[in-house]
Amino acid sequence: MSANSTHNSEAAMQELRKLLFEKESVRLDELENLLRDQQLHAQEVAKVLAEAVKIRNLQDEELGKSLAPTIEKSIKASIAKDPKSLSDALFPVMGPAIRKSINNSIAEMLQSLNQTLENSFSAQGLKWRLEAFRTGKPFAEVVMLNTLVYRVEQVFLIHKETGLLLQHLSFDPSLDEDADVVSSMLTAVQDFIRDSFSGSTDQGIENLRMGDLEVILETGPDVVLAVVCRGNTPRAFNEKLQTTVEQIQQLYRQALQAFDGDTEPFVSIDEHLHPLLVSDFKSEEKGQEKKKSPTKAVLVVALIMVTMLIWLGFEEAERQQTQTNWDNYISRLQSEEGIIVSSVQQDEQGYTLLGLRDPLSVDPYSLLSEYHIAANVSFFMQPYHALQEPLVLKRIKQLLQPPKSIQLIMKDSTLTIIGTASETWLSQAEKAALYVAGVENVDSSQVSVLSSVFEDLPQDKGIKLDVLPSKPKKTITRNKKPAKKVDTDTDILKRAIALLNPPSTVEMKYAKGILYASGQASKSWIEFAKNNFSKIEEIDSFYTSKLSSKGIK
Amino acid sequence: MIQKKICVLGAAGVGKTSLTAQFVYSKFSEKYLSSMGVKIDKKTVEVDDTQVNLMIWDIHGEEKYKKIPSSYLRGASGILMVIDGTRLDTVAVAKDIHQRVCDELGEIPIIYLLNKSDLGDAWSINDNLMAKLESANRSVFLTSAKTGANVEASFTSIAKAMLPT
């Protein structure tokens, strides 16, 4: 029963629902289908998609962010599928961009290469290195101090249409005060130049220059970026300005177009402008100076080289002259009779000569000055008797002490005696001469014999009297009165000393017509004595072989 | 800080430069005016607690063969039109310039300054003309660069007119 009534009431409710909500139920079903049917859903979304994207983009940037990964994936997929279509699409953009980028890179590279070369190899570079070495500063610092050339002093960001200043940066805060007036005036100046000379409103002024001060103007659609620089800015800097303008233009486009004099929205633009406030360093020297420096250096080097060459030339000439003098000296010695040079040694101390020397030959010392030889020369000469005839004759004369009336000739190993002599002297001479090396014959046929006053010759050194005969051959009367033994030997010696006045270093003796002198005396005295001894009648000959002039002037 | 560009316009010799000089801080000398045709000065005025930096472009007087360059007018937010109160012909010149400004810049605030108000004897603007000018819905000031009368008031007035209400 109760189950039946429950069933009845359920059916009644069903009926009631049907009566009350049939229309709504059908609609609900339709809606349910609509939601479940993907096709229908897509059609509905397509209707509003573009509008929705537009609205959302105006609200915030979330849509772009959320789409970014999808777009990246799509591009990747597109390239993987067919790279050509995308590269075709990008070609008009990529070509100029790549060209521009390559041009800039090359220009920058050349500039920096030039700079490096100039700084490394120029005289200026060397000077800076020297300065760095001298002052103990790092080379880079010296270069910096010397090359600070361009500095960005002020940056103006100007609203193009009104000429009003949006932002201003400068090294010197005192410049800030007038920046807005300068900004307007700069705009007026641009307008003035454009109106006066160009006529076209499309072309902007890019550059104003006065001395080393330069205003670079980079113009975008809504802004003008004016940069005041001192010195030469590099190409790369202009590139930087361009990029900055592009960034600002992109980020603030709406605000710039809606600008009504309120600079508040542009406060954050600072971060884009600050990187422009830079200093950079000299990339170029003044051409003339560069050219001069190497010339100077070359001149200096050339001067040094010429001086060295001249000096070396003098040295060489002097050396050659010295060598020639020495060679001449040696050949003179070689040609000199009685001297044989067997070897010449040279070391740091000077020269050493080895060889043989006849004591009667020329003194090699005395020849040194004749040949202007200043070097130290040592002689190790062994004595010997040379057989050249002049020396043999000299030796004979020294031995025989011939009277003035006798002339001696030496030829072909034969000694010819000519003149007048005492028999004693002649016989002694004939014998003695044969004992001299180099004499083989004695020809005394042309001698007139005078009677000798003295029977004997002194028994002394020098002449070996024991081998001589003591007996005179004949006695001849002299023209003068015969000598008488009036004076003793001592008297004669006294007279001789009185006449010749020998120096104290000379000892004199007299015996049997021969005056002996020994010791040391000057050449002039010896000469004087030789010329005058015969004034004393009793003296026949003067024996001087014991006399030496060495060490006395 | 709000900045506004205003131009001071009018016929030659109406006293534009003298009016401006009365009022402003001057950085550039007057020779710019004769060489470039413009001299820019600035003045900061306060309107309803708002600082307004007026960049005042004092442009050379309009003459027959020396028109005001359009580039100088571009971007201006307000105009001070100067008339010499002793010369009636300057009123006509002002009208011409006014028309040009409207053509090039659209509807912007323009204030009329009847200058040389100190020269009472030579004054040639009669009440009739005065009423006409005022009825054209423009602010009109009687100014004197010599005495400084109304100079500051007129500049403040243009600043106020330019600000959004």
B150 vs A142, more confident: B150
Q: What is the mean pLDDT of residues B116-132?
A: 85
pLDDT band at A290 (very low <50, low <70, confident <90, very high): very low
Chain A CA closest to residue B52: A261
The DSSP 8-state label assigned to residue A476 in this structure reads: -
Residues of A in contact with B41 (CB under 8 A): 181
**In this predicted structure, what is the pLDDT of residue A141?**
66
Residues of B in contact with A257 (CB under 8 A): none
For chain A, percent of residues with pLDDT exceeding 70: 84
Residue with tokens 């909500």: A21
Q: Chain B interface, mutation test: which of A157, A165, A181, most B Cβ atoms within 10 Å? A: A181
Kindly report, residue by residue over B7-62, the tens digit of the pLDDT: 999 998 898 988 888 888 666 667 777 778 898 998 999 888 889 999 999 998 87
Is B75–A178 a contact, with Cβ atoms under 8 angstroms apart?
no
Nearest-CB residue to B41 (from A181, A195, A261): A181
What is the CATH number that goes with domain A483-553? 3.30.1340
Residues of B in contact with A260 (CB under 8 A): 77, 164
Nearest-CB residue to A161 (from B3, B41, B75): B75
A406 vs A474, more confident: A406
Is A185–B28 a contact, with Cβ atoms under 8 angstroms apart?
yes
**Lowest mean pLDDT, pick from A94-108, A252-266, B83-97:** A94-108
Kindly report, residue by residue over A203-252, the tens digit of the pLDDT: 678 888 887 788 999 988 889 999 998 877 777 888 889 889 998 988 89
Kindly report, residue by residue over A2-22, the tens digit of the pLDDT: 556 777 888 888 888 888 888
pLDDT band at A484 (very low <50, low <70, confident <90, very high): very low
Is A163–B2 a contact, with Cβ atoms under 8 angstroms apart?
no
pLDDT band at A471 (very low <50, low <70, confident <90, very high): very low
A28 vs A211, more confident: A28
Residue A465 in this model has a pLDDT that exceeds 60: no
What is the CATH number that goes with domain A122-285? 3.30.450.70
Residues of A in contact with B27 (CB under 8 A): 178, 181-182
- Contact assessment for residue A128 and residue A140, using Cβ atoms and an 8 Å cutoff: no
Kindly report, residue by residue over A333-356, the tens digit of the pLDDT: 888 888 888 888 888 778 888 888
**In this predicted structure, what is the pLDDT of residue A119?**
63
Q: What is the mean pLDDT of residues A365-391?
A: 84
Q: How far is A185 from chain B (nearest CA, A)?
A: 6
Q: What is the mean pLDDT of residues A61-75?
A: 88
- Contact assessment for residue A404 and residue A365, using Cβ atoms and an 8 Å cutoff: no
What is the CATH number that goes with domain B2-162? 3.40.50.300
Residues of B in contact with A222 (CB under 8 A): none
How high does pLDDT run on average in chain B? 87
Kindly report, residue by residue over A142-188, the tens digit of the pLDDT: 766 566 667 888 999 999 989 999 999 987 777 777 888 889 988 88
**Distance, CA of A97 to CA of A454 (rounded, Å):** 138
Chain B CA closest to residue A194: B71
Q: How far is B85 from chain A (nearest CA, A)?
A: 30
For A279, half-sphere exposure in the C-beta direction (CA atoms, 13 angstrom radius) is 8
Residues of B in contact with A201 (CB under 8 A): 71
> How far separated are the first and last CA of chain A, in Å rounded?
187
Is B5–A182 a contact, with Cβ atoms under 8 angstroms apart?
no
Q: How far is B140 from chain A (nearest CA, A)?
A: 25
Residue A357 in this model has a pLDDT that exceeds 60: yes
Residue A546 in this model has a pLDDT that exceeds 90: no
**Distance, CA of A402 to CA of B30 (rounded, Å):** 131
Kindly report, residue by residue over B73-92, the tens digit of the pLDDT: 999 999 999 999 999 999 99
**H/E element, A248:** helix A235-251
**In this predicted structure, what is the pLDDT of residue B75?**
92
Nearest-CB residue to B40 (from A185, A195, A201): A185
Nearest-CB residue to A194 (from B71, B75, B162): B71
Is A192–B36 a contact, with Cβ atoms under 8 angstroms apart?
yes
Residue with tokens 């012909």: B89
- Chain B contact present for A159, CB below 8 A: yes
Long-range Cβ contacts of A230-235 (<8 Å, 24+ apart): A230/A150, A230/A151, A230/A153, A231/A149, A231/A150, A231/A151, A231/A282, A232/A149, A232/A150, A232/A283, A232/A284, A233/A150, A233/A152, A233/A280, A234/A108, A234/A111, A234/A150, A234/A280, A234/A283, A235/A104, A235/A107, A235/A108, A235/A111
Residue A369 in this model has a pLDDT that exceeds 90: no
Residues of B in contact with A191 (CB under 8 A): 69, 71-72, 74
Is A263–B75 a contact, with Cβ atoms under 8 angstroms apart?
no
| Residue A109 identity (one-letter amino acid) | M
Is A191–B75 a contact, with Cβ atoms under 8 angstroms apart?
no
- Chain A contact present for B60, CB below 8 A: no
- Chain A contact present for B57, CB below 8 A: yes
Residues of A in contact with B36 (CB under 8 A): 188-189, 192
Is A195–B71 a contact, with Cβ atoms under 8 angstroms apart?
yes
pLDDT band at B110 (very low <50, low <70, confident <90, very high): very high
Is A178–B72 a contact, with Cβ atoms under 8 angstroms apart?
no
Residue A175 Cα distances to A163, A183, A224, A515, B75, angstroms:
18, 12, 19, 124, 25
Is A180–B69 a contact, with Cβ atoms under 8 angstroms apart?
no
Three-state secondary-structure class, residue A220: coil
**Distance, CA of A20 to CA of A26 (rounded, Å):** 12
Q: How far is A187 from chain B (nearest CA, A)?
A: 9
Torsion angle defined by CA atoms of residues A523, A525, A530 and A533, in that order, rounded to the nearest 10 degrees:
-170
Residues of A in contact with B58 (CB under 8 A): none
**In this predicted structure, what is the pLDDT of residue A19?**
86
- Contact assessment for residue B66 and residue B73, using Cβ atoms and an 8 Å cutoff: no
Is B3–A194 a contact, with Cβ atoms under 8 angstroms apart?
no
Is A180–B27 a contact, with Cβ atoms under 8 angstroms apart?
no
**In this predicted structure, what is the pLDDT of residue B9?**
93
Is B42–A180 a contact, with Cβ atoms under 8 angstroms apart?
yes
Chain A CA closest to residue B41: A181
Strands A406-411 and A223-230: unpaired
| Residue A416 identity (one-letter amino acid) | T
Residue A254 Cα distances to A58, A251, A378, angstroms:
12, 8, 110
- Contact assessment for residue A513 and residue A454, using Cβ atoms and an 8 Å cutoff: yes
Chain B CA closest to residue A177: B27
